Amino acid sequence: MLNLQLPTDPRWVGIAEMQIEDILVDHAYCEQKAASSCISLIIRYNDLDELVDTLTPIVAEEWGHFERVMEQLRKRGMRFGKQRKDEYVAKLYDLVRKGGSRKDQLTEGLLMNALIEARSCERFKLLSKNIEDEELRKFYYELMISEAGHYVTFIDLARKYQDPEKVNKRWKEWLEFEAEVMKNMELRGDRMH
Ligand SMILES: [Fe+2]
Ligand SMILES: [Fe+2]
């Protein structure tokens, strides 16, 4: 369903589990960035009613996720550390097509968001199936469902505001780029991506 071209290295979940504090901190920032990115889209495309009305509740949802990750950190006596450099997202940004029409730019933004949701969803699924901590397993299962919904929402919005065939073609390219990015990233257990 997620269409990702390269599954996560199965070793990732084991090393992530050993660094769960780093994962939770990184995850909190992922939720913050998801909320921020929706806010940016709303401001930039204020004239697109359906986009504004669809993304507004998602901002609240992502911020709710942030709050819940913080709760998991706090109850484990863990510290909310500094934000790390997000190499994965930085590499995806490099692939965003510069220029083009405003509509083309919107497609790029929505597809990039969809991709990050898809990869997060895949990783949450791995955590929900494989880690020992039962509470976190449930937590990640719930978030996996929620991010899968966002993934679909971003793709649907892209197809609403742009020729769907064009979106599908570009989506395939994005999926290939992302697999390439993933392939070249160092396997680390201290980050969600
Ligand atoms: Fe989220
Ligand atoms: Fe999301």
Domain 13-184 classification at class level: mainly alpha
Give every residue of the chain whose pLDDT is below 50, as ranges. Answer: none
Q: Which ligand is nearest to the CA of 124?
A: 1
C-alpha 22/C-alpha 103 separation (Å) is 37
Q: Using the mean position of ligand 2's atoms as its centre, give its distance from the Cα of residue 146 in Å.
A: 7
Assign 3-class secondary structure to 57-102.
Answer: HHHHHHHHHHHHHHHHHHHCCCCCCCCCCCHHHHHHHHCCCCCCCH
Q: Using the mean position of ligand 1's atoms as its centre, give its distance from the Cα of residue 121 in Å.
A: 9
State the pLDDT at residue 2: 81
Q: Using the mean position of ligand 2's atoms as its centre, give its distance from the Cα of residue 70 in Å.
A: 16
C-alpha 179/C-alpha 185 separation (Å) is 10
Q: Using the mean position of ligand 2's atoms as its centre, give its distance from the Cα of residue 106 in Å.
A: 18
Q: Using the mean position of ligand 2's atoms as its centre, give its distance from the Cα of residue 193 in Å.
A: 14
Strand segments, DSSP code E, in 48-177 are none
State the pLDDT at residue 103: 95
Question: Rounded to two decimals, what is the model's pTM?
Answer: 0.95
Q: Give the angle subtended at the CA of 13 by the CAs of 9 and 15, to the nearest 5°.
A: 100
Contact 92, 178 (CB under 8 A): yes
Q: Using the mean position of ligand 1's atoms as its centre, give its distance from the Cα of residue 9 in Å.
A: 22
State the pLDDT at residue 1: 58
